[in-house]
Amino acid sequence: MLGEWIKAIVQWMLEWVQSWDRFWFTPRNSQTLAIIRIATGGMLTYTHIVLASDLMSFLGADAWIDPAAARSLHDGTYAPAEAVWSYLWSIDSPNVLWMHQAFAIVVSLMMMIGLVTRIAVPLAWFVQLMFVHRLTGALYGLDQVTTMLAMYLMITPCGSHYSVDAWIRRRWWKDSPQLKFWLPEDLPSVMSNVATRLAQLHLCTIYLFGGLWKARGQLWWDGTAMWFAAASYEYQSNDLTWIARYPLVFATLTHMTVFWETFYCVLIWPKRTRPVILLTAVMVHGGIAIYLGMITFGTMMIVANCIFLEPEWIKHLPGLGGVHRRSRQTPALEEA
Amino acid sequence: MALVPKSKLQSPGWRFVFSCLIIGHLWAIVARPLDFATQGPNGSSPASGAFYAPIRSYAEFAYMNHGYAFFAPDPGPSHLLRVTVRNGNGDSKTMLYPDREEQWPRLLYHRHFMLTEFLHTLYQAPLQFSELPDEVRGDVAMIEDWKMRRNRFEAIRDSMLRHLRVVYEGANVVMQRIEHRLVGLPEFLGERVRLNDSRLYVELLDGPPPTSELPRFGQPPGVGVRAESQR
């Protein structure tokens, strides 16, 4: 009897290990990551250009939060020290800051077009980290999402599709084994899968805690939160106050938002519910982009949700499949 | 599968190493939001604090140390800065930060908006030792923490003031914290109060908190003051 119990437990553990292996280490194509690379690189380029339009107010010696004050927020002066560092705390020369800004824009552009991607993406992520640790106080969800996506993209061969790298490889160095890492072929990769899974779980965590936080509020329960979001003048970009006349509409939207955010982490995995959850994500974040003045954040959240799109589906989209004739199928990746 | 080239990651040893790294990263993804969500007036729950501590440095450096409380727990008022500039001739000009007309594109406006919200988040009322009740005066850790928070607020406030003085070329600058309150449905529909009605803009004064009792870990709900309370 005891032997059977032990056998059953060992069998259960073996199955668990196999499921873990399948979930994390099944090679995956990189088309989805390539699309996300283009969008993230584009958004990083845009944020660096916008920052450049008022550079000294944010990074200069007399910035809103000057370099010394920014450092003091992290180095233990006023709170337990954080494991945070930025070389931008030590730079106050306008010339150096302008050169650095130009460098950041070029690196992000390289990430977007997929030029020397294996170097450009880690560099873009690192430069972005230096910015976010310097710009404490001026950041919001947009910066969290772009930094997160760049972090996962940098460990993948996301330059293998829709990139200058892919074009160079096809044209000149098709079969060069020496350049396999630098100009990755469009083959399924374990690292693409690891990064995809991490990004998916990260996104699930974001929504879960977003939903749990809302569930602590009173206005998300009594149905008026959506009205108060619409009534926030500083966020407003298009007038949504007409919704005040339709309590059934704003209350339903309020409850749906909490439900969708909280249960996103469960309902995004089954293939039957995934399209509904993704469509809701487009509507919620599209609404934030159009009405609540955060077009950049709304756009990047929609981009982040693309991580749940299968690469096989992406490559069949008009204009995205024909170029990459050699893409190969991975085995079925989803169990659900 | 035959088409997929063998890689190091398909060997059991590498998978084990990568599995450990993955578990560590997943820990960092979850630990900070959990720690943030369990915070009370005196810090996070001891359990979630202990769970977060080993992975804290990694989460901080990788900028994964967020709570993800977007528009939560409830949508609230906005916090702005009213800046009055007086030059040597006695002329004065008043501006409100952020300002959609002045800061464009929208991302730049939003950066300014986050700065004014940040100053509000950091706000800590000045500590007036003589007004504290006896049992609180003996709480050295609490007093020290209060002072540090107040110093942090003053450091950022002063940095912002210095910035404004440079922008307005040495003019006399006065900075006021403003709370833009939300209009309720009855006022909006019945009294036709607009979102930017002047009555909704309230100045937040810098003064000691209105009550003397301070929060302690383990106190029942409703006892103690909110540290961020305004007078």
Q: Which tens digits make up the pLDDT trace of A318-329?
A: 877 744 444 444
Residue A176, pLDDT above cutoff 80: no
Nearest CA of chain B to the CA of A45: how many Å? 13
Nearest CA of chain B to the CA of A2: how many Å? 30
**Tens of pLDDT along B176-218?**
999 999 999 999 999 999 999 999 999 999 987 654 444 555 5
- Chain B residues within 8 A of A232 when measuring between CB atoms: 75, 78, 182, 195
The rounded Cα A248 to chain-centroid distance in angstroms is 33
Band of pLDDT at residue A332, cut at 50, 70 and 90: very low
Q: Residue window 170-209, chain B: list those with CB within 8 Å of chain A.
A: 180, 182-183, 185, 188-189, 195-196
Q: Token pair of A47, please?
A: 């944020």
pTM as predicted: 0.92
Residue A12, pLDDT above cutoff 70: yes
The residue written with tokens 């007078």 in the block is: B231
Q: Count how many Cα atoms sit within 13 Å of the Cα of residue A299 in the half-sphere of its side chain.
A: 17
Which of A190, A209, A294 has its CB closest to that of B37?
Answer: A209
Nearest CA of chain B to the CA of A151: how many Å? 8
Which of A48, A213, A250, A312 is the best substitution to test chain B (most B C-beta atoms within 10 A)? A213
Provide the pLDDT for residue B42: 74
Closest chain B residue by Cα to residue A64: B160
Provide the pLDDT for residue B11: 85
Residue B229, pLDDT above cutoff 90: no
Residue A180, pLDDT above cutoff 90: no
Task: Give the type of residue at A326.
Answer: R
Contact A129 B61 (CB under 8 A): yes
**Tens of pLDDT along A226-278?**
999 999 999 999 999 999 999 999 999 999 999 999 999 999 999 999 999 99
**Tens of pLDDT along B88-116?**
888 999 999 999 999 999 999 999 999 99
Straight-line distance from the first to the last Cα atom of chain B, in angstroms, rounded to the nearest whole number: 68
Q: Who's near A242: CB < 8 A, 6+ residues apart?
A: none
**Tens of pLDDT along B64-77?**
999 999 999 999 99
Provide the pLDDT for residue B129: 76
**Tens of pLDDT along A193-229?**
999 999 999 999 999 999 999 999 999 999 999 999 9
Closest chain A residue by Cα to residue B114: A138
Kindly give the residue spans of alpha helices, DSSP state H, lying in chain A.
2-25, 31-52, 55-59, 67-72, 94-113, 117-134, 141-153, 164-171, 190-215, 219-222, 225-230, 247-267, 274-291, 295-305, 311-314
Q: What is the ipTM of this complex?
A: 0.92
| Cα A195 to Cα B189: distance, rounded to the nearest angstrom | 49
Provide the pLDDT for residue B227: 35
| Cα A134 to Cα A72: distance, rounded to the nearest angstrom | 11
* CB contact at 8 A, A175 and A153: no
Provide the pLDDT for residue B140: 87
Closest chain A residue by Cα to residue B200: A233
Residue B148, pLDDT above cutoff 60: yes
Which of A205, A257, A299 is the best substitution to test chain B (most B C-beta atoms within 10 A)? A205
Q: Is A328 helix (H, G, I), strand (E, B) or coil?
A: coil
Provide the pLDDT for residue B125: 93
Nearest CA of chain A to the CA of B212: how many Å? 24
Provide the pLDDT for residue B7: 64
Residue A331, pLDDT above cutoff 80: no
**Tens of pLDDT along A96-109?**
999 999 999 999 99
| DSSP code for A84 | -
Helix axes A190-215, A31-52, angle to 10 degrees: 60
* CB contact at 8 A, A186 and A315: no
- Chain A residues within 8 A of B35 when measuring between CB atoms: none
Is the CB of B38 inside 8 Å of chain A's CB atoms? no
Q: How do B78-86 and B92-97 pair as beta strands?
A: antiparallel
Provide the pLDDT for residue B6: 58
Percent of chain A with pLDDT over 70: 95
Provide the pLDDT for residue B2: 38
Task: Give the type of residue at B153.
Answer: F
Q: Is B174 helix (H, G, I), strand (E, B) or coil?
A: strand
- Chain B residues within 8 A of A237 when measuring between CB atoms: 106
Q: Token pair of B53, please?
A: 């501590």
Output the average pLDDT for chain A. Answer: 93
* CB contact at 8 A, B63 and B29: no
Provide the pLDDT for residue B8: 64
Provide the pLDDT for residue A315: 86
- Chain B residues within 8 A of A296 when measuring between CB atoms: 106-107, 110
Residue A289, pLDDT above cutoff 90: yes
| DSSP code for B30 | H
Q: Helices H, strands E: what count in chain B?
A: 7, 4
Percent of chain B with pLDDT over 70: 86
Average pLDDT score over residue span B156-170? 95
Nearest CA of chain B to the CA of A249: how many Å? 14
- Chain B residues within 8 A of A198 when measuring between CB atoms: 22, 25-26, 29
Contact A25 B18 (CB under 8 A): yes
Is the CB of B2 inside 8 Å of chain A's CB atoms? no
